[in-house]
Amino acid sequence: MGATKYTDRSIPRISLAEFDNRIDEITSQLVHAAETDGFFSLTDTEISIPEIDAIFATSESFFALPDDVKGTVPFTHNNVGWEKKGQIRPSTGVADQKESYQLQFGQNMTDKWISPSALPDFKPSAQAFMAKAQSVSEKLMLCFARGLGFPDDHFIRAHDTSRPDCQSVLRLLHYFAVDKTVPPQENFYRAGAHADWDLLTLLFQRPGESGLEICPGREAVTSFGMGDTWTKVDFAPGDIVCNIGDLLMSWSDDRFKSTFHRVKAPTDFERDYWGPRYSIAFFNQPCVDCVIQGPRGKYPEVTGAEFTRRAMERNFGALRAKQEELREKMGEGGEGGGKAVAASA
Ligand SMILES: O=C(O)CCC(=O)C(=O)O
Ligand SMILES: [Fe+2]
């Protein structure tokens, strides 16, 4: 594996303090960040550090359960449930070294909440946090709608969490500790490089548990082409790291950038974090019947369901091509391990 090339890029830090009085200023900061690297961090949000700590404790309590208990809420293609080493990215062709549990607001969660007999407070804690993540997301949606010249509630209506068919997802993530004595395996990542296919993603991380890296430069949402110069993402405690997803890139006629990102497996004994890494992502996914088209009509009009279907199709097509390439390289016929998980990202 060639050594990664790194460069410093400054990731804007945007305060949401006094949101109602500062909407215009916040909108121009968000639009600028979206037009450049597509990543920014939010500070002074309505989610406090103790609330973030509490949801991480809830997440840890889930992942500490035995696999057969977690297996009572298995992943389904409605994008809910628990998977372990089940997500293969087209960029790597091998499974991410992680497990995750995806939660939604509506009917897709029927039978997918871990039983209260296993974790009594899990569901109310997760739902309270999801409501807060949605509230922060709606502030961003309002600003991005204004920035694009849409009505203020344009994106908010398309991501209505009170609808039973709402598709938005809170994903709890647990990347496994890496053994320093075992030589690193080529092409293994905690999360392989990818772009998210939602509108925008809110990412909660724990200080000291580094690994997130970004690779800007993508010009069109339909392209899988990726550059090779990466930047490590830093954040302050309590900040929410956000990124634009493919849906908003498409909905803005490629003006806002959905940037490739990954979570590198540790390799540097001094600087990298080798312990178990926990993170939490909130993906704003469109309702199935909302209508998507940018202000200049660069792409044909599609529904939310159609957009997601095509994103998954592109993803699986690219994955098949990568697995074929790996098979040819290894000169053998078998399928790569694991099965592809159709997750939001
Ligand atoms: O865990 C992280 O820091 C990133 C996760 C991510 O990019 C994803 O799940 O889409
Ligand atoms: Fe992602």
Counting residues of the chain whose pLDDT is more than 70, the rounded percentage is: 95
ipTM, two decimals:
0.99
So what's the pLDDT on residue 344? 57
Ligand 1 pocket test, candidate residues 212, 240, 272, 284, most atoms within 8 A of CB: 212
Residue type (1 letter), 77: H
Does residue 59's CB lie within 6 angstroms of at least one atom of ligand 1? no
> Residue 6: pLDDT above 70?
yes
- CA of 161 from ligand 2 middle (Å) equals 21
Q: Taking 90 as the threshold, does the pLDDT of residue 110 lie above it? A: yes
Highest mean pLDDT of the ranges 59-63, 190-194, 315-319: 59-63
Task: Calculate how far, in angstroms, residue 262's C-alpha sits from the geometric centre of ligand 2.
Answer: 7
- Show the CA angle centred on residue 304, arms to residues 110 and 152, nearest 5°: 105
261 three-state secondary structure: strand
Cβ(281) – ligand 1 distance below 6 Å: yes
Query: Residue 334 above 70 pLDDT?
Result: no
How is residue 83 annotated by DSSP? Answer: E
CA of 242 to the centre of ligand 2 (A): 10
Please tell me if the CB atom of residue 31 comes closer than 6 angstroms to any atom of ligand 1.
no
Nearest to 142 by CA among 197, 203, 196, 199: 199
pLDDT one-digit tens code per residue, 131-181: 999 999 999 999 999 999 999 999 999 999 999 999 999 999 999 999 989
Q: Is 241 in the pocket of ligand 1 (CB under 6 A)?
A: no
- Which domains occur in the chain, in start order? 5-221+228-287 (2.60.120.330)
d(CA 125, CA 52): 11
Mean of all residue pLDDT scores within the chain: 91
Which ranges of the chain does DSSP label H, i.e. alpha helix? 23-35, 49-63, 67-70, 122-148, 154-158, 246-251, 304-330
Residue 193 CB less than 6 A away from ligand 1: no
> What percent of the chain has a predicted confidence (pLDDT) above 90?
70
242 lines ligand 1 (CB under 6 A): no
Task: Name the closest-CA residue to atom 8, ligand 1.
Answer: 345
**Is the confidence at residue 296, as pLDDT, over 90?**
yes
